[in-house]
Amino acid sequence: MLKPKPSIDTIQPYQGGKPIEEVQRELGITDIIKLASNENPLGPSPLAVQAIAESATQVHLYPDGNAYYLKTELAQHLEVSPEHLILGNGSNDVLQLIAEAYVAPDDEVIYAAGAFVVYSLVTKLCSATAVVVPMVNDTHNLSAMAAAITDKTKVIFVANPNNPTGTMVTADETAAFIEQVPENVLVVFDEAYYEYVARSDYPQTLPYVLEGRNFIITRTFSKIYGLAGLRIGYGIAPPTLVETLNRVRQPFNCSLVGQAAARAALKDTDHVTKSQKSNAVGKTFLYKAFDDMRLGYIRTEGNFIMLHVEPSGAEITDALLKQGVIVRPMAGYGYPNTVRVTIGTQQENERFITALKVVSYQLPVKRSLVADSTLVPATKAQLTTDN
């Protein structure tokens, strides 16, 4: 029998949000809303749609493998040089490039229990040892992560804000953490929701890159820019690291249409502002609705909220599905009693709350949960070497 390398057997296949068409097919219902994958409910920028249409006639050509225009414009936007940028087929691609380039078997990779699942995936892909550090208050515990560093540590992944918990680490915590990380360890800050964060104590991490530290920021066009379907993400890193990552990268990992759309989306600052405002309004609306229903939830810095439900996230997800609302159960992240809901348009948020109320009458939902309770993950409360 043909066997994959041993570490591959330990990988659980990624469970994404169900596509709308699949739910339509399986349940025979129409008028479905998807609040399951943290997509921008306002859709893509109209300028991006136009750029996509215009680029359609060029798709017989390979894309520019070096993405000259996108990198130049992105560099200008970020006030870095193009040499600081590595593009990916989504930022997940960049996360994988980082692991492939730097992580050897038996190296240790540190990330938090309840952090974005891709860190675990790419660690296993490289047959490395995962050092999984528990969160405190559903938030990355940076001092515990620093304390977990050994001679074997190669990479530390931090999602800020984190998906699925929506929590963030502060500028002060980050500065103290960076002080403790030895020079030969690579720190990766995954900032997929960067543009949504409004808190003033959110760390601006670009200086860590520009100081030439072993520090990489990843960001994406999938979330606020509304281009998840086109798979464009990027890393910001010191040029020497970018040069290494470029050796691992597939030469045409960013499509021609994706590059064109990302350039247009970047210029559409109105769309970004609208999306930020819509998210802030939706967040306030949902918090109020959850408070009224006495449901516990975690305050979020992203465009999604993790909500405590009974009897289980899986059952509530199924029941909501029958109401035509797709959300995500979070048991795979060690949170069996939660669902994660993406903040939608006002209309979608109202539909979700209506459906949640219907479901809460159908199921024996505990209706007296303390709002803003700390959701304790089911994972062990000690340092583990795998999750």
Ligand X SMILES: *Cc1c(COP(=O)(O)O)cnc(C)c1O
- Which spans of this chain sit near ligand X (rule: CB under 6 A)? 38, 90-92, 116, 159, 163, 190, 192, 220, 222-223, 228, 233
CB atoms within 10 A of CB 35: 27
In this complex, which beta carbon is closest to ligand X, that of residue 195 or of residue 350? 195
- Smallest gap from residue 168 Cβ to ligand X (A): 11
Q: What is the Cα–Cα distance from 322 to 130, expressed in whole angstroms?
A: 38
- Smallest gap from residue 301 Cβ to ligand X (A): 12
Cα–Cα distances in angstroms (integers) from residue 65 to residues 69, 100, 135, 246, 259, in the given order: 11, 19, 39, 10, 10
In this complex, which beta carbon is closest to ligand X, that of residue 327 or of residue 365? 327
- Give the single-character DSSP code of 130: E
- Smallest gap from residue 38 Cβ to ligand X (A): 6
Q: 207 Cβ partners below 8 Å, 6+ apart?
A: none
Q: What 3-state DSSP class applies to 325?
A: strand
Q: Are 216 and 189 in contact (CB under 8 A)?
A: yes
Q: What is the Cα–Cα distance from 53 to 40, expressed in whole angstroms?
A: 20
Q: Are 121 and 332 in contact (CB under 8 A)?
A: no
Element of type H or E holding 304: strand 304-308
- Smallest gap from residue 294 Cβ to ligand X (A): 28
Smallest Cα–Cα separation from 164: which of 320, 386, 377, 355? Answer: 377
- Smallest gap from residue 130 Cβ to ligand X (A): 17
Q: What is the Cα–Cα distance from 116 to 109, expressed in whole angstroms?
A: 14
In this complex, which beta carbon is closest to ligand X, that of residue 45 or of residue 91? 91
Smallest Cα–Cα separation from 257: which of 50, 75, 72? Answer: 50
In this complex, which beta carbon is closest to ligand X, that of residue 123 or of residue 360? 123
- Smallest gap from residue 304 Cβ to ligand X (A): 8
- Smallest gap from residue 118 Cβ to ligand X (A): 6
In this complex, which beta carbon is closest to ligand X, that of residue 161 or of residue 313? 161
Q: 247 Cβ partners below 8 Å, 6+ apart?
A: 101
In this complex, which beta carbon is closest to ligand X, that of residue 187 or of residue 359? 187
In this complex, which beta carbon is closest to ligand X, that of residue 55 or of residue 92? 92
DSSP per-residue letters across 204-224 = --HHHHHTT-SEEEEEESSST
In this complex, which beta carbon is closest to ligand X, that of residue 169 or of residue 365? 169
Q: Are 159 and 190 in contact (CB under 8 A)?
A: yes
- Smallest gap from residue 222 Cβ to ligand X (A): 3
Residue nearest to ligand X (CB): 90
Q: Are 307 and 343 in contact (CB under 8 A)?
A: no
- Smallest gap from residue 95 Cβ to ligand X (A): 7
In this complex, which beta carbon is closest to ligand X, that of residue 303 or of residue 360? 303
